[in-house]
A = this chain, B = another copy of it.
Amino acid sequence: MSRVVCDVTVSLDGFVAGPEQSLEHPLGRGGEDLHRWQFAEGDEHRRERDAIVAARAFIMGRNMFGPVRGPWPDASWTGWWGDDPPYHGPVFVLTHHERPDLPRDGGTTFHFATSGITDALARARAAADGGDVAIAGGAATIAQFLEDDLVDELRLHVAPVLLGSGERLLDGVTEFRLVPVSARATPLVTHLVYGREAAGVAESLG
């Protein structure tokens, strides 16, 4: 059975994006500081980066796909990522508004899922063919999957910065059902993994 995984980078005060998000600054003021680890040179974060792209299907909220709201006026918006998006697989975009599949270069195809998250997840699982399904964001979509206990592994990348305001990751989630699995500190980010089964349980009984 494929797992549902989720990678998300947050500030130490729990924001996935800073205030004043805009088309030009989708991460808001200070938001770029969160993701410095993803662009650092060297192999320090290779394992975490490899894990992010290892999923075989992806689900994202419509606001992550783009700024267009309401019914699609036309097919001109094709995502933030240019001709060759980094997903290289099927991406299910949660929306209330139908739109034909949108194939891009490099194996990425955007599918528009209009029947809710459960149906979108079923389609993504089928497409992943035993591989992992990744919840790609944004924060509201991740929160919805966490609240419905659909995430098997949350990989939280905590950047040592404060944003003070902006978009919080865990707003609206009432219960956290995952347990700590691993943690690793690096100069730019601390990688925390939460999953279904705790690491070190045997050790803690000693």
Residues of A within 8 A of B (CB): 12-14, 40, 42-44, 158, 160-162, 164, 168, 170, 173-176, 178-194, 198-201, 203-206
- Main secondary structure, interface of A, reads loop
A182 — which chain B residues lie within 8 A by C-beta?
Answer: 185
Q: How far does the alpha carbon of A179 sit from the alpha carbon of B159 in the complex, in Å? A: 9
Selected from B13, B161, B187, B192, the residue in CB contact (under 8 A) with A14 is: B13
What are 24 of the A-B contact pairs (CB < 8 Å)? A12-B170, A12-B176, A13-B168, A42-B204, A44-B204, A158-B192, A160-B176, A160-B178, A160-B180, A162-B170, A162-B176, A179-B187, A180-B185, A180-B186, A180-B189, A182-B185, A183-B185, A185-B199, A185-B200, A186-B200, A187-B200, A187-B201, A187-B204, A190-B192
